[in-house]
Structure 1
């Protein structure tokens, strides 16, 4: 029930309350007036009895005392009726107050529940948005990483390798290893390799400007523009001891 509709029903229930209160107060005022009148009569009868008690006979005394007692009982009944009406009037008003307090507590609980549900929906929405944002960022990272080629991984691995170490690279896997021996028969003669189609995205090395294959050796000159060379292209069959420099860097060193 909406607050406006509830207020309308509650005000409708209060329509008869003023009339009932007015009726009870009128009855209480009437009972009070009757009781006050009886008390005045009792005072007069009591005074008259006390003045004439010595001259009255026993039967007369008893008659007047009974009359006084009956009037007193009647006044007491009026007082009791007045108290009962006052209690009824109080309970009538208190009933509406209790109903209002109960309804207010219920409305407050409903408002709190709605606020909690609203907060929960907002939190769920925020979590969902955050999750979608993370998913989008993850997809972007995947797309970015998918664009990186295996040649970059090989180059990074070679740069991390100690200078002068041989590198084994097979056409099947493109893997890079430090100090590893490659089975060149699996690849065939270097001339056969040169006849193979070259991926334009794969980096080239050596004096022959070809991709990596077989065993390769790195120049120990950190400023060498080529860095890596095929064994066959530089006339090597095994890894030399100590430092090794490519032909170009060797000539540059001699000039110095």
Structure 2
């Protein structure tokens, strides 16, 4: 679940919260107003009762016992009613607190779930990055290098075929100038001696070929067998100076074909 969905769901749950809080606060104000009115009435009755007790000898202001009992009874009832209002206010306050606390707990749970999802995504991302190790990258690099070698070999083979055709024309025409030009085309891509390659620094990730298990260099030829385990060979390692006509098979594949 995305952050936007968490936020949307949480805002939906808060839609009725303001109305509920407003209702509770209105009830609290109403109960408080009633309790205040009762306290004022209690003060009035208490003053009247105390004045009757202050002048017991004054007949005009003397209070009968029934009147005193009535005042005491009214004061007691009002105190009990005021206490009920106070209890109702406490219950409303607790209800309001629990209402807000419920949404706070939900927010905490959503945050915990969101953090857990982020950690899971981070773990998945790290596992994918582990799969993309330097070894895998070197394999991809080796594959690209191999494709470049194939292309280079095809280009050199085309150059050799052009040189061979030029030589045939030179023999027929007997022109020395054409012979020299054909020779220049034929040696345009000179062979590199294996010892020169071995002396050069070699990348450990560079793929190896041929019977000599060395990196690609100079002129190379591919075996025509699709499942050949080596596939590419140096001319010098298979005793070739030029690309043969037709299909060419490496010594191992040729031996297997003869057995069949």
TM-score, normalising length from structure 1?
0.52
Contact 2:138–2:205, Cα closer than 8 Å, also in 1:
no
Q: Does 1:64 find its partner at 2:71? A: yes
Shift in Å, 1:133 = 6.9
1:118 aligned to 92, 114, 125, which one? 125
1:197-236 → structure 2 map (5 Å cutoff)? none
Q: Does 1:50 find its partner at 2:50? A: yes
| Distance in 2 separating the partners of 1:12 and 1:25 | 22
- 1:144 to 1:29, Cα distance in 2 relative to 1, 3 A: farther
1:130-145 → structure 2 map (5 Å cutoff)? 132=139, 137=204, 140-141=207-208, 143=210, 145=212
Q: Secondary structure at the match of 2:133?
A: helix
Aligned-pair RMSD on alpha carbons? Answer: 3.0
Partner residue in 2 for 1:103 = 110
Q: Secondary structure at the match of 1:140?
A: coil
- 1:94 to 1:138, Cα distance in 2 relative to 1, 3 A: closer
Q: Secondary structure at the match of 1:145?
A: coil
Shift in Å, 1:7 = 2.1
Shift in Å, 1:36 = 0.5
Unaligned 5+ runs, structure 1: 148-199, 202-256
Partner residue in 2 for 1:81 = 88
CA offsets per residue over residues 161-205 of structure 1, 9 Å max, x none?
xxxxxxxxxxxxxxxxxxxxxxxxxxxxxxxxxxxxxxx97xxxx
Partner residue in 2 for 1:175 = none
Bigger share in helix: 2
CA offsets per residue over residues 103-129 of structure 1, 9 Å max, x none?
011101110110111011111222551
Shift in Å, 1:101 = 1.0
Shift in Å, 1:63 = 2.2
| Distance in 2 separating the partners of 1:138 and 1:122 | 20
Which stretch of the first structure deviates more once superposed, 134-143 or 41-50? Answer: 134-143
Q: Does 1:22 find its partner at 2:22? A: yes
Question: Quick one: higher RCO (CA 8 Å, sep 6+), 1 or 2?
Answer: 2
- 1:60 to 1:4, Cα distance in 2 relative to 1, 3 A: same
TM-score, normalising length from structure 2?
0.51
CA offsets per residue over residues 25-51 of structure 1, 9 Å max, x none?
111111111100100111111111111
| Distance in 2 separating the partners of 1:146 and 1:105 | 57
Partner residue in 2 for 1:221 = none
